[in-house]
Chain A
Amino acid sequence: MTDVIGPPVAYDPELDAAMSVMKDKLPDFGAIMARTGDLGAVVREVREVLADAIAEISGTKGSDITRGGAYTVTEREVPGPVGAPDVPLLICLPANASAPVGLLYNIHGGGMIGGDAHTGLPHYLDMADDLGAALVSVDYRLAPEHPHPAPVEDCYAGLVWTVEHADELGIDPDRIVVMGGSAGGGLAAATALLARDRGGPALIGQLLACPMLDDHNDSYSARQMAGLGVWDHAANGLGWSALLGSAQGGPDVSPYAAPARATDLSGLPPAFIDVGSAETFRDEAVEYASRIWQAGGSAELHVWPGGFHGFSGAVPQAAVSQAANAAPRNWLRRIFKA
């Protein structure tokens, strides 16, 4: 561990300006943690703030998820992991597809402790619609009430059920991408590891947006950006300890909880990884991409200069956000064509 930590990376000026306007709409986890006591209370408060903030930012409130009838949307409870409750899936299928379509299997973000299947949905449906693809969003159980492996096993169970019912849903089982942002990015990476290791569904891609991968929470960027942005070192520590309890940062954390722990990153589907240069997750995202390459795999990595966590969804107008929002669509088009 380096002793000297450089100054924080400055935000992109447009993002910075937008941040100054939005500041009081964004959660200040540091203040919440100072004010409250036990983990449960903190989580409850964080969850509430997060739900509001995410709904606000992603425009979940009041938006039409059928996109004017272009999608039929159903909620289904499907069998969960062995001995666990059913897993709710939000299933969005193109209304007028004449042939089986590709699938974006979406795992929402929220720090392992918040969010739901609707989180960020309009944005992801935009992407699916661009591709003429279906979208299934999984409502996995949240920590700390449901620590590891509940969240990732729910995600995997939902994926397996979806692939087993591909015919019925009109989905092409050979064109499935797992995707997620933040905690969802970490869970998507973990789901891809599970699918590989259990001989599960064949995936053609994993789209990991600013993914939460490493429970150590001590990378250079995590320390460099401590106290800054919507998901800083302290908030990240809270998320991981909710998921892993006292095991966090110790020797026995499963790679299916924290994919950075995986010793073998070969044999994975092509990855799209992006992250802001001014956020906690920068270095673990870059590291994960590097290790995929070192294992001979395929990864497309974007580090957006001056981007804070979730910048492209929070400030879509900014020039850097426009570029960041175009990149995954471009990658998906190539993946789906191949």
Chain B
Amino acid sequence: MQELVGRLAQLDPDAGAAVKVIAYFDRLVEGHAGLEPIVRGAAVLAGCAARLVDVDRRVQVRVDARGKVCDEIGLPEPDWPSAPLVPDGPAVLWLEHGGEPGPVDAMVLERAASAARGVLERTRGRSSVALDDPASVEVLFDATVAAQTRLTVARRLGIAENAQVKAVAPVGEPGWIESDAACWPARGRSTGARLGVGAVGGVLDLPASWVGARAAARFTAMDTEQDPGPRVVHADQLGGLAVLADVIGADTEPITDVRAVEQARTDAPWVLATLVAVAASPSLRAAATALLIHHSTLQERLGHVEHVLGWPIRDPQGKLRLQLAIAMWRLHRQS
């Protein structure tokens, strides 16, 4: 068979060779053969290694010209003959040889891709080349995935190679990618959720943007009386607070000031909102306005909470200490 196929591969792409290639893959399809026999068929008929890589479906199969499956799989060379799974789609099937294409290459690729498409749709559902694909978006956030693969996925999602994009991390939901003009997946966008927004950069910067967005999300709140604070936080506005996000995890022991904030919060329903307003406002008058209370009422309340907290919050130093305590309290809550 090896010799025979070798000769087949050297033949002119006449009717005889084409008919054989077609018959070969038709038989595989009739026999409900899986992906490996299909890729092996491409390899032995073309007389070189062949591979199928479908990033969306997390499928990769590589078989050498002798029919042996190889686990090691590098990047495809740009001059290898290749075929998409669907017309105009990205390449998923490659014959691993450069130079002049063999006479049956095109036929082998076409028939093998068609057979593989049938198997993939039968066993793994329809292709998700549609732009709404959370799994592909996850791939772009994953720094451990090869850069070339991430660029391929981005292209497939319709993200231009030079696009300026950022990751968005809603609390408790899958993230998405935004540019000035669009977002991916289009339907992934939830309104009303607390959001961390990552720094803007290129496609390959998305993993870092995603890490920043997730950190920023930990500083968010629902912007209600029970959970006062900003609903959207941008990573590039965190400054040194980002360092706090790094060091405070699930196992970190809260410092005294954090426990004091928690203690004060349970003291009266208005306490947390008051503390957040004071920490976030340029003046006590502005804080009173934000809280819809009279300035003197605020002064009375602050006297009470300063006692509970154990430090003054109306001087600059105390206000910084309060801001840090609230930030850390949120991190503890969401670590």
Contacts and interface: CB of A to CB of B under 8 A. Distances in A.
Q: State yes or no: do A and B come from one complex.
A: yes
A314 B28 CA distance: 17
A25 interface: yes
Contacts of B45: 21
A171 to B, nearest CB: 31
A319 B3 CA distance: 18
Contacts of A11: 31
B1 A17 contact: no
Interface residues of A, number: 24
Contacts of A14: 28, 31, 33, 37, 40-41
A159 B26 CA distance: 47
Contacts of A13: 27-28, 30-33, 37
A319 B1 contact: no
For chain A, what secondary structure do more than half of its interface residues adopt (helix, strand, loop), or is it mixed?
A: helix
Given A13-B33, A13-B37, A20-B23, A317 B4 contact: no
Contacts of A19: 27
A314 B67 contact: no
Interface in B13-61: 20, 23-28, 30-33, 36-37, 40-41, 43-45
Interface of A: 10-14, 16-22, 25, 56-57, 59, 314-319, 321-322
B3 A56 contact: yes
A16 B25 CA distance: 10
B5 A21 contact: yes
Nearest to B41: A17
Contacts of B44: 18, 317
B307 interface: no
Given A13-B37, A20-B20, A317 B31 contact: no
A21 B31 contact: no
B32 A21 contact: no
A315 B2 CA distance: 8
For chain B, what secondary structure do more than half of its interface residues adopt (helix, strand, loop), or is it mixed?
A: helix
Contacts of A317: 1-2, 40, 43-44, 66-67
Nearest to B22: A20
Contact of A22 (B1, B32, B40, B66): B1
A230 to B, nearest CB: 13
Given A14-B40, A17-B31, A21-B20, A316 B4 contact: no
Contact of B24 (A12, A20, A59, A322): A20
B306 to A, nearest CB: 76
B187 interface: no
Contacts of A322: 67-68
B277 interface: no
A20 B111 CA distance: 15
Contacts of A12: 31
Contacts of B41: 14, 17
A20 B26 CA distance: 10
A176 to B, nearest CB: 31
A278 to B, nearest CB: 12
Contact of B27 (A17, A56, A321): A17
Nearest to B32: A13
Contacts of A315: 1
Given A57-B1, A316-B1, A18 B24 contact: yes
A201 B259 CA distance: 91
Given A56-B3, A316-B1, A316-B67, A21 B8 contact: yes
B119 to A, nearest CB: 11
Contact of A319 (B24, B40, B43): B40
A319 B5 contact: no
Nearest to A55: B3
Nearest first, the 6 closest Cβ-Cβ pairs linking A and B are A317-B67, A13-B31, A13-B33, A17-B27, A20-B23, A17-B24
Given A13-B28, A14-B41, A316-B2, A21 B66 contact: no
A171 B40 CA distance: 40
B16 to A, nearest CB: 9
A22 B37 contact: no
Contact of A16 (B2, B31, B68): B31
A318 to B, nearest CB: 7
A56 B45 CA distance: 17
Given A317-B44, A319-B40, A18 B33 contact: no
A16 B1 contact: no
A10 B41 CA distance: 19
Contacts of B23: 17, 20-21
**Most-contacted residue by chain B among A14, A18, A22, A314 (CB, 10 A):** A14
13 contacts: A10-B31, A12-B31, A13-B30, A13-B31, A14-B37, A17-B27, A17-B28, A20-B24, A21-B5, A59-B2, A317-B43, A317-B66, A319-B37
Given A20-B20, A20-B27, A317-B43, 6 more contacts: A17-B25, A21-B5, A21-B23, A22-B1, A318-B37, A322-B68
B67 A16 contact: no
B66 A16 contact: no
A197 B45 CA distance: 49
B8 to A, nearest CB: 7
Contact of A17 (B2, B32, B33): B33
Given A10-B31, A13-B31, A18 B1 contact: yes
